[in-house]
Amino acid sequence: MSPVWQASFVAAPAHASGRARGAAPYLRTEFAVDVPPRHATLHVTALGLIEPHVNGVRVSEEVLIPGWTSYRHRLAVSSADVTALVVPGRNALGAVLGEGWAVGRLTSDPQRLGLWADRPAAFLQLELDYGDRVELVTSDGNWRASTGAVLANSIYDGEAHDARLEPIGWSTAGFDDRAWSAVEAVDVDLDTLIVPSRPPIRRIEELPSKEIITTPSGRTIVDFGQNLAGWVRLTVTGAPGTTITLRHAETLTGGEANFVTNRGAHATDSYTLSGGGTETWEPRFTFHGFRYVDVEGWPGPLDPGSLTAVVVHSDMARTGWFETSHELINRLHRNVVWSMRGNFVGLPTDCPQRDERLGWTGDINAFGPVAVFLYDARGVLESWLEDVAAEQREKGFVPHTVPDALGTPSPPAALWSDVVVGLPWTLYWECGDQDVLARMYPAMTAFVDDVAARLDDRGLWNRGFQFGDWLDPDAPAHDAAAGKTDRYLVATAFFCRTTNRLARIAEILARPQDAARYAALHTRVREAFRHEWVTPAGLLGVGTATAYALAICFDLLDASQERRAGDQLADLVAKADYRITTGFAGTPFVTHALSRTNHLDTAYRLLLQTECPSFLYPVTAGATTMWERWDALLPDGSVHDTGMTSLNHYAFGAVADWLHQVVGGLSPAEPGYRRIRVAPRPGGGLTHATTTHDTPHGRIQVAWRRVTDHRMALEVDVPPGTSADVLLPEHPDHRLEQVGGGRHRWEYEVPASDPAAYDFDTPMAALAADPAVWAAVSEVLHRHLSQYAERWTSDAPPPQLPNLRAFLTIFAGRAPSMETDLVAALKSRPLVADR
């Protein structure tokens, strides 16, 4: 239940003498207590950021309070139990304020300042519950304001702290604040204040430094071994006035820190020592996306233990895990997890490092199924959806970023604007809770009705701005929307899926007339799509992997057409040498479309390709998070020069949905996992995989293992009160088991997966036809004879050479150890992926 708000928003005087922009206001008041209260609760929020203090103690472990919401509509109030901090006699209540998202600069435009407020303003209400009465201490015109040690602070640019300027004892009783200024009231609609439903932002983990590097130019770089979102805590001893500067970077180029991916964000923190012995400091009003930190001004030798990376994000419970026999796939999955962590700092963003960090709707719409599997993200996502709906009601459209920091009209765009339907649907299937559908239903219908009015007389969405297959790797470097796939094909395909979902949602919510209307709209759009782009045989007029993947996964084809489309898709993937040819729209679906149409081997070959662009190329290049572009770092180690090359972007991590559902074999058969589908599909030389997920009903675990080439084992843990349909992988009879709660295990004979051994006399074409073996063989060839790598692809072995024996006759002298590695590659089948 929301408290009755009686506090006011207060701020330092707008024209305080000597106050530089970015200098953090310090606010304080004092109050008297006769006897200790039974309970004391402090409620705080701010336009900007707030760090509350009671009697000299920082109140909460929550950071970056109150986070970022659509401030004009919803401003979250954080609450903390401070009973133990309130004492009889005089007490002090105070706060330090930062600019945060409301006041500081946002977007790549350095002039976009103060989008929600011209200065930080604080709201504090302390409730002292004595049992028979409640007394309040509130922020009001009697508070006092000054500045202190925080000289500058910015989400993008970092924080500057001079410890010599900290007003000692400022938040304790008896401090002399006569030189401080009176605060000014700030008019804020208190009806916008909400009790947050999302988890707070906290320090979640700490990483020690992995290595201290002296660069070729003599700079000192600390490598934390992991790209993350957060900041650095330092512990130092030195002379007063010594200033340490920390510059944050995602990567090194030529051994030096490369700040290009930060774009216009300075991402620089500085700390000036007071000289009072050992000092420990960390920023409070900023965060950075980084792996490396350039350190300047450190007094004396830098001890590795003096710097700690603090990982910061919304405090969500982990709910999903995945592991296989293939270490590169495991690293890929870990990269997906770390990118989600770095982009859930209060709300789902695109990247944590540059002058952007915005709530792009398309990114989370693509990544949503993975997000809700990996973490209990309901609080974050449902809160953000409330902001989406509020912005839509105000503006009449779904902004491409929420909160709307861009401030320009956002015409409806497929994958982006339809997040109002797609993300609630994803949450419903994860949790089984209809409430999110009901709350978002007006936003859903408003969006769909708007687009329906924009269709042409045939039912095609073929005009207006579209992102298309955003970041298709073949798009021009400086025009990410200009991919191979017709943007209006993408738009119409997505709208077809959206109308189908809305019809089903209307049915679930017992709105039969709406259900019929949107079902009819779905039929109209589907038929228009088929008439415009699909031949009777199932070929698409736009012959791209994205076009085929969408047509297959969005049920735009009949059964016979789907088979032909699957064949065409597999052929396209093979002709591209199993490299990625899809962008934001197609990538989440291409592996699903392949496995759905019985091209599992092709899907695995696509997954296991390591040449750029591919899922595993960033992994082999040392990535610890997902990249915005497949080639964000080029093979020569340089950064892709587009100004849009984040190394921490989760959208392409949507492939993890296929890992969970197909490789791992775990998916909901009903919303909320009351009934579970277990159907692993081993391939790619993997010998085992384990997938674990905490559902509303309890933990599910699916673990399959290839015991031998002829024997398979499957273990499934099913929560009490649920049931599972288990399709035994590779079972000769395609056996389906239906089981209830408990642990279940099967072990059985499977058809031989290796009917003939491979050796140096095996024809090259036979090796190339086996995805697992050729992956291992080609890896050896590329490793030892990289100068020929462009000639040898998975469907084009070395020309005019009948077998490996002939190949070795020519090349063995140039790479003596290659023969040994090839023997291992041939004998490793089907275990090659373990390598």
Are 694 and 737 contained in the same domain? Answer: yes
Q: Which ranges in 222-326 belong to alpha helices (H)?
A: none
- At position 702, the amino acid (one-letter code) is V
Left (φ > 0), alpha (ψ -120 to 50) or beta: where does 137 sit?
beta
Q: Is 28 helix (H, G, I), strand (E, B) or coil?
A: strand
**Inter-axis angle of helices 818-827 and 804-811, nearest 10:** 160
pLDDT for residue 783: 72
Are 443 and 535 contained in the same domain? Answer: yes
Name which residue leads in pLDDT, 823 or 591. Answer: 591
Percentage of residues of the chain with pLDDT beyond 70: 94
CB 443 within 8 A of CB 392: yes
Are 703 and 618 contained in the same domain? Answer: no
Pairing outcome for strands 158-162 and 268-272: parallel
CATH of the domain at 682: 2.60.420.10
pLDDT band, very low/low/confident/very high, at 829 (cuts 50, 70, 90): very low
Are 594 and 470 contained in the same domain? Answer: yes
pLDDT band, very low/low/confident/very high, at 629 (cuts 50, 70, 90): very high
Are 556 and 466 contained in the same domain? Answer: yes
Mean pLDDT of 223-234: 98
pLDDT for residue 377: 98
Query: CA–CA separation, 329 vs 346, rounded Å?
Result: 29
Are 527 and 570 contained in the same domain? Answer: yes
Q: What are phi and psi of 26, to 5 degrees?
A: -110, 130
Query: Is 377 a member of any domain?
Result: yes
Percentage of residues of the chain with pLDDT beyond 90: 86
For 269, the token pair is: 């923190």
The pTM assigned to this predicted structure is 0.91
Mean pLDDT of 409-413: 95
Q: Alpha carbon of 413 to those of 399, 419, 555: distances in Å?
A: 10, 10, 20
Query: Is 338 a member of any domain?
Result: yes
pLDDT for residue 125: 98
Q: Mean pLDDT for the chain? A: 93
Query: Is 404 a member of any domain?
Result: yes
Q: What are phi and psi of 810, to 5 degrees?
A: -85, -45
> Quick check: 807 pLDDT over 80?
no
The string of pLDDT tens digits covering residues 153-193 is 999 999 999 999 999 999 999 999 999 999 999 999 999 99
Catalytic residues: 356, 628
Mean pLDDT of 325-350: 98
> Quick check: 87 pLDDT over 90?
yes
Name which residue leads in pLDDT, 691 or 815. Answer: 691
Are 356 and 445 contained in the same domain? Answer: yes
pLDDT for residue 543: 96
Query: CA–CA separation, 45 vs 186, rounded Å?
Result: 13
pLDDT band, very low/low/confident/very high, at 503 (cuts 50, 70, 90): very high
The string of pLDDT tens digits covering residues 244-271 is 999 999 999 999 999 999 999 999 999 9
- At position 831, the amino acid (one-letter code) is L
> Quick check: 408 pLDDT over 70?
yes
> Quick check: 835 pLDDT over 60?
no
Are 659 and 671 contained in the same domain? Answer: no
Q: What are phi and psi of 654, to 5 degrees?
A: -60, -20
Mean pLDDT of 345-360: 98
Pairing outcome for strands 675-678 and 78-81: unpaired
Query: CA–CA separation, 752 vs 726, rounded Å?
Result: 22
Domain total of the chain: 5
Mean pLDDT of 618-643: 93
Instruction: Give the burial class of 191: count Cβ atoms within 10 A of its Cβ; 0-12 exposed, 13-18 middle, 19 or more buried.
Output: exposed
At which of 287, 314, 341 does a domain end? 314
Are 641 and 527 contained in the same domain? Answer: yes
Mean pLDDT of 723-747: 96
Q: Alpha carbon of 576 to those of 381, 473, 627, 751: distances in Å?
A: 36, 12, 21, 31
Query: Is 215 a member of any domain?
Result: yes
pLDDT band, very low/low/confident/very high, at 1 (cuts 50, 70, 90): low
Mean pLDDT of 555-576: 96
Domain containing 310: what range? 202-314
Query: Is 755 a member of any domain?
Result: no
pLDDT for residue 239: 97
Are 176 and 307 contained in the same domain? Answer: no
b/e for 321-351, b at 16 or more Cβ within 10 A? bbbbbbebbebbbbbbbbbbbbbbbbbbbbb
The radius of gyration of the chain from alpha carbons, rounded to an integer in Å, stands at 29
Mean pLDDT of 823-835: 46
Name which residue leads in pLDDT, 781 or 166. Answer: 166
At which of 685, 719, 749 does a domain end? 749
Q: What are phi and psi of 312, to 5 degrees?
A: -125, 130
Cis peptide before 442 (omega within 30 of 0): no
Element (H, E) at 98: strand 89-98
Nearest to residue 321, comparing CAs of 664, 722, 684, 696?
A: 664
The string of pLDDT tens digits covering residues 61-70 is 999 999 999 9
Query: CA–CA separation, 735 vs 793, rounded Å?
Result: 37
CATH of the domain at 218: 2.60.120.260
pLDDT for residue 792: 56
The string of pLDDT tens digits covering residues 289-319 is 999 999 999 999 999 999 999 999 999 999 9
> Quick check: 800 pLDDT over 70?
no
